Amino acid sequence: MTSTHNSRRTAAVIGAGQTGVTAALGLLDAGFEVTLHSDRDQRALRDDVPATGTALEFGETQQAETALGLDTYTGRAPRHTGLSVRIAGPEREELIAFDGHFDGYVGVAVDTRLKADERLTTFQERGGRFVVGQVTPATLDGIAAATDLTLVATGRGGLSDLFAVDASRTPYSAPQRSLLTVTVTGLGHDASVFAHRSRAGGAHSGFSILADQGEGWWGPYLHKDAGPSWAFLGWARPGSDWEKRFAAADSAESALRIVRELYRDHIDWDLPEVQAAQVIAEDPHSWLKGAVRPVVRSGSGRTAGGHVVASLGDTSAAYDPIAGQGAQSGLIQAQRLVAAAAVHDGSFDEDWITRRNQEFLAARGDAANRVTRLFLGDPEFAEIGGQLFAAAAADPRVASALVGLLHRPQPLSDIGSVEAVGDFITEVTGEDAATVLARFQPAGRFSRSTFAGSLTTA
pLDDT in tens, 266-309: 999 999 999 999 999 999 999 999 999 999 999 999 999 999 99
Residue 103 in 3-state DSSP?
coil
The answer to whether 161 and 303 have CB atoms below 8 angstroms apart is no
Residue 5 pLDDT exceeds 90: no
Residue 97 pLDDT exceeds 90: yes
Domains, the chain, with CATH or none = 10-51+114-172+295-369 (3.50.50.60), 74-109+175-292+377-453 (3.30.9.40)
Encode pLDDT of 324-366 as tens digits: 999 999 999 999 999 999 999 999 999 999 999 999 999 999 9
Q: Give the pLDDT score at 157.
A: 78
Q: What angle do CA 58, 63, 68 make, to 5 degrees?
A: 130
Whole-model pTM?
A: 0.95
Residue 455 pLDDT exceeds 60: no
Query: What's the mean per-residue pLDDT of the chain?
Result: 95
For residue 267, which phi and psi values (nearest 5 degrees)?
-135, 60
When pLDDT is cut at 50, 70 and 90, the band that residue 453 belongs to is confident
Q: Which of 296, 302, 288 is nearest to 318 (CA)?
A: 296
Q: Give the pLDDT score at 454.
A: 47
Can you tell me the mean pLDDT for 85-106?
97
261 CB-near residues (< 8 Å, 6+ apart): 245, 458
Q: Give the pLDDT score at 4.
A: 40
C-alpha count within 13 angstroms, C-beta hemisphere, residue 122: 19
Can you tell me the mean pLDDT for 72-100?
97
The answer to whether 258 and 267 have CB atoms below 8 angstroms apart is no
Encode pLDDT of 249-275 as tens digits: 999 999 999 999 999 999 999 999 999
